[in-house]
Amino acid sequence: MKIISLPDGERAPVLGQGTWGTGEKKSRHVEEVAALRLGIDLGMTLIDTAEMYGEGASEELVGEAIRGRRREVFLVSKVYAYNATQRGAIAACDRSLRRLGVERIDLYLLHWRGSVPLSETLNAFARLHGAGKIASFGVSNFDTSDMEEAYGLAHGQDIATDQILYNLTRRSVEHDLLPWLGHHHIPVMAYSPVEQGRLLGNRKLASIAAARKATPAQIALAWLLAQPDVIVIPKSGDAKHVEENRAAADIALTAEELSALDRAFPRPAKRKPLEML
């Protein structure tokens, strides 16, 4: 598995695992834990969760999946925007640590921008970092103007990633957000890489995938992995899908395939405000 270096030197695999929607159904519990463990076995050792997912149930599930294997895993979690005050972020992080059953989160993100002043959240993150409770911190759903503002604040230049909606059907970020992040050497974490499954029925994608004897999900992931400095975090609670997704990291798309995807899923002519799910 290819590894990416974060600005502070921390290292993470380019293909990880999302967990939104996991931990919520008892009937799916065993399968979801097994899927995450299989993903770790296969090298998808970055696991993305959030206090929001199942109101802590996803973090608990992740905690169970990584028990005994903490050192293999790069753990990402996120604080609710409304918890991201000086005291609130520290308390939220403590709760996440407890649910995850770990002493340190590798990367802690502000889930989206809310009404708490950014300077306050960044100060809280710096304190959590100083206390050894998080190794790195970053943001999510930040558009270019948010990144510019954050970068001008104390600790803003320590932001390790911006986790954003990015896939074949959400390419507006290529106008200025991705170039801005690239210029500042901040890797992107692409969420909903298969558009929560909606991309998989696309006929053009299916035909490009069939020609390669791959699945649409694999081609959608391989396209993201072909972009520079992008970490991709598909969610799957299904072992077969996890294996399929892992194999996408070994697909090097040809120049012809990349052009075909570009024609089928063109970047919008004009920039739009950052979309989020």
Ligand X SMILES: NC(=O)c1ccc[n+]([C@@H]2O[C@H](COP(=O)([O-])OP(=O)(O)OC[C@H]3O[C@@H](n4cnc5c(N)ncnc54)[C@H](OP(=O)(O)O)[C@@H]3O)[C@@H](O)[C@H]2O)c1
> Of the candidates 4, 19, 40, 261, which one interacts with ligand X according to CB under 6 A?
19
83 binds ligand X (CB under 6 A): no
20 binds ligand X (CB under 6 A): yes
Stretch of residues binding ligand X (CB under 6 A), selected from 63-71, 90-98, 119-127, 241-249: 241-249
> Of the candidates 238, 247, 271, 275, which one interacts with ligand X according to CB under 6 A?
238
Identify which of 218, 210, 202, 206 has the alpha carbon closest to the alpha carbon of residue 250: 218
Angle, CA 249 vertex, CA 195 and CA 196 arms, to 5° = 10
Identify which of 125, 142, 144 has the alpha carbon closest to the alpha carbon of residue 134: 125
C-beta of residue 184 within 8 angstroms of C-beta of residue 151: yes
C-beta of residue 79 within 8 angstroms of C-beta of residue 92: yes
96 binds ligand X (CB under 6 A): no
80 is catalytic: no
Q: How far is CA 209 from the centre of its chain?
A: 24
How many binding residues for ligand X (CB under 6 A)? Answer: 28
202 binds ligand X (CB under 6 A): no
163 binds ligand X (CB under 6 A): yes
> Please, which residue, 131 or 200, has the CB nearer to ligand X?
200
Stretch of residues binding ligand X (CB under 6 A), selected from 13-21, 64-72, 93-101, 176-184: 13-21
Angle between helix 255-264 and helix 203-212 axes, rounded to 10 deg: 170
d(CA 34, CA 41): 10
244 binds ligand X (CB under 6 A): yes
Catalytic residue among 53, 108, 166, 191: 53
> Please, which residue, 2 or 198, has the CB nearer to ligand X?
198
Identify which of 129, 149, 175 has the alpha carbon closest to the alpha carbon of residue 6: 129
C-beta of residue 209 within 8 angstroms of C-beta of residue 219: yes
C-beta of residue 90 within 8 angstroms of C-beta of residue 127: yes
Contacts of 5 (CB under 8 A, 6+ apart): 11
24 binds ligand X (CB under 6 A): no
> Please, which residue, 31 or 158, has the CB nearer to ligand X?
31
What's the closest the beta carbon of residue 62 comes to ligand X, in angstroms?
10
Q: How many CB atoms lie within 10 A of CB 60?
A: 17
What's the closest the beta carbon of residue 71 comes to ligand X, in angstroms?
21
> Please, which residue, 87 or 272, has the CB nearer to ligand X?
272
Stretch of residues binding ligand X (CB under 6 A), selected from 84-92, 121-129, 192-200, 260-268: 192-200
**Both tokens of residue 181?**
């992040």
> Of the candidates 36, 44, 48, 110, which one interacts with ligand X according to CB under 6 A?
48
Q: How far is CA 217 from CA 207, 246, 247, in A?
A: 12, 11, 10
Residues contributing to the site for ligand X (CB under 6 A): 18-20, 48, 111, 140-141, 163, 191-197, 200, 217, 233-238, 241, 244-245, 276-277
Give me the active site residues, please.
53
